[in-house]
Chain A
Amino acid sequence: GAGVSQTPSNKVTEKGKYVELRCDPISGHTALYWYRQSLGQGPEFLIYFQGTGAADDSGLPNDRFFAVRPEGSVSTLKIQRTERGDSAVYLCASSQASRGGTGELFFGEGSRLTVL
């Protein structure tokens, strides 16, 4: 596709359930990011992939959160034992740049997670 694709666009789940959010980046983009945006706030960094490896996962809030990118393209953000505080929009972005530089981040429309 032309842009970053995220599925599902909306997910409602119950407290304690497991959730997977998928990101399909722009073809050829080596860098992939996950951000979380709570209501009325700016996006907060979660994790950065360069290729298949997580180069920086310092933004993951705790060990219930995990992300993979096994083939260097599609990424999945996994949340175990969801809590109401996990409710937010999860944004994925991809970039052509390897590190630093002026590589623009292209964002998807986000996956809106609601934990009841």
Chain B
Amino acid sequence: QKEVEQDPGPLSVPEGAIVSLNCTYSNSAFQYFMWYRQYSRKGPELLMYTYSSGNKEDGRFTAQVDKSSKYISLFIRDSQPSDSATYLCAMRSDYKLSFGAGTTVTVRA
């Protein structure tokens, strides 16, 4: 069993819809939780970063962490075609980042 499991997708949604992305993890030592966005043939770029359980908002993006359930989510409101990308959840306990497999999202205009 992998340390980080991510809902596989792919997801295809109309412009303006809410996108919901989810990951679960098994390693209780993970302290930092991140979401990366990766466009085709590019490297991952950090989108959201959280440390504690709860919600964190940044514009149209909301990251949720539930440490008791070992579950994290990313919500994208009012999705735009430019949000079409692969979204990777990532977690770390010290220096090493462990990634989920990624969910590819397509937002249709």
- Chain A nearest CB, measured from B32 CB (Å): 7
One of A40-48, A69-77, A78-86 at the interface: A40-48
- Chain B nearest CB, measured from A12 CB (Å): 15
Interface string of A13-43 (1 = CB under 8 A from B): 0000000000000000001010100001111
Closest chain B residue to A56, Cβ basis = B96
Interface string of A82-116 (1 = CB under 8 A from B): 00000000010100010110101101111010000
> What class of interface size applies to chain A in its complex with B?
20 to 34
- Contact for B43 among A40, A44, A55, A110, CB less than 8 A: A110
Q: Is A109 touching B46 in the complex (CB atoms < 8 A)?
A: no
Q: Is A44 touching B99 in the complex (CB atoms < 8 A)?
A: yes
Closest chain B residue to A45, Cβ basis = B96
Q: Is B101 touching A42 in the complex (CB atoms < 8 A)?
A: yes
Please report the number of residue pairs spanning A and B whose Cβ atoms sit closer than 8 angstroms: 58
Closest chain A residue to B90, Cβ basis = A42
Q: Which residues of B contact A105 (CB under 8 A)?
A: 46, 97
Q: Is B46 touching A42 in the complex (CB atoms < 8 A)?
A: no
Q: Is B102 touching A109 in the complex (CB atoms < 8 A)?
A: no
Q: Is A45 touching B98 in the complex (CB atoms < 8 A)?
A: yes
Q: Is B46 touching A104 in the complex (CB atoms < 8 A)?
A: yes
- Contact for B100 among A42, A50, A100, A109, CB less than 8 A: A42
- Contact for B95 among A41, A99, A109, CB less than 8 A: A99
> B60 in the interface, Cβ–Cβ < 8 Å?
no
Closest chain A residue to B104, Cβ basis = A40
A-B contact pairs, 21 of them (CB 8 A): A31-B95, A33-B97, A40-B101, A42-B4, A42-B88, A42-B100, A43-B88, A43-B99, A45-B97, A91-B44, A97-B95, A99-B94, A100-B92, A100-B93, A100-B94, A102-B49, A107-B44, A108-B43, A109-B43, A110-B41, A110-B42
3 closest A-B pairs by CB: A42-B99, A107-B43, A100-B94
B contact residues vs A (CB 8 Å cutoff): 4, 6, 32, 41-46, 49, 51, 88, 90, 92-102
